[in-house]
Amino acid sequence: MKKYEDEYRHKGLRRKLIASLQKKGISDQRLLEAMNRIPRHFFMDLAFDQIAYEDRAFPIGEGQTISQPYTVAYQTQLLDVKPFDKVLEIGTGSAYQSVVLAELGARVYTIERQKKLFDSNKHFNFLKKYPGIKFFYGDGFEGLPTFAPFDKVLITAAAPLIPPKLVEQLKTGGVMVLPVDENHGQRMMRITKLEDGSLKEERFDAFSFVPMLEGKTNGNENHT
């Protein structure tokens, strides 16, 4: 069993990390405060305790990663989460991003396609503090039609295209933030669903995510 405490040392490192995010251009104060409340080291193996507050991605098993804090902050800032927003997240992974959304007051529906990652979150006691997060094992390309429509959709893996079913499950006026594959790397995009059903597309910086894959799996796939 992992044993975690949030010590002064962690809190100090976390404040430094948040200050560095601010320097890199993250300006949403509510978001910065939310991230400052969340012990990121809880979401990683104890082996990473010393380096959990570096601004970088870390492996979480099954060939997947917990996203870099800057990337989490960047996507969340673009999503502009309001309290009580109903948010669909694709790619639960470590659940760190889900908790950031919950700290901002969102009602979170998060889907993971890897059974082992989904199962490990069931035993992750810290998540009991967040009854507003609902966890699903499934294929993010399908979304959650039963719970649609959503105010916001956040994809935390690189999508080959804008998933049509997720556009359908977005409210009018709703916003989707996702990294989309391009010829060389991935581009962060923000999609807004307009009154007439058409999409406004905005393009932002380049990023590097693990791929969004079709179907769900029990096995081990490695992507480097």
Nearest to 133 by CA among 199, 89, 81: 89
Does residue 213 belong to the site contacting ligand SAH (CB under 6 A)? yes
Q: How far is the CB of 196 from ligand SAH (least distance, A)?
A: 29
CA distances for 5 relative to 11, 31, 59, 101, 217, angstroms: 11, 23, 21, 22, 33
Is 67 designated active site? Answer: yes
Does residue 76 belong to the site contacting ligand SAH (CB under 6 A)? no
Q: How far is the CB of 63 from ligand SAH (least distance, A)?
A: 8
Does residue 64 belong to the site contacting ligand SAH (CB under 6 A)? yes
CA distances for 141 relative to 50, 208, 217, angstroms: 36, 19, 14
Does residue 144 belong to the site contacting ligand SAH (CB under 6 A)? no
Nearer Cβ to ligand SAH, position 145 or 198?
Answer: 145
Does residue 113 belong to the site contacting ligand SAH (CB under 6 A)? yes
Q: How many residues bind ligand SAH (CB under 6 A)?
A: 23
Nearer Cβ to ligand SAH, position 78 or 198?
Answer: 78
Q: CB 84: neighbour CB atoms within 10 A?
A: 10
Does residue 139 belong to the site contacting ligand SAH (CB under 6 A)? yes
CA 103/CA 84 separation, integer angstroms: 11
Phi/psi-derived region of residue 12, left when phi > 0, alpha when psi is between -120 and 50, beta in every other case: alpha
Q: How far is the CB of 72 from ligand SAH (least distance, A)?
A: 6
In the complex, which residues of this chain contact ligand SAH (CB under 6 A)? 64-67, 90-91, 93-94, 96-97, 111-114, 117, 139-141, 156-157, 210, 212-213
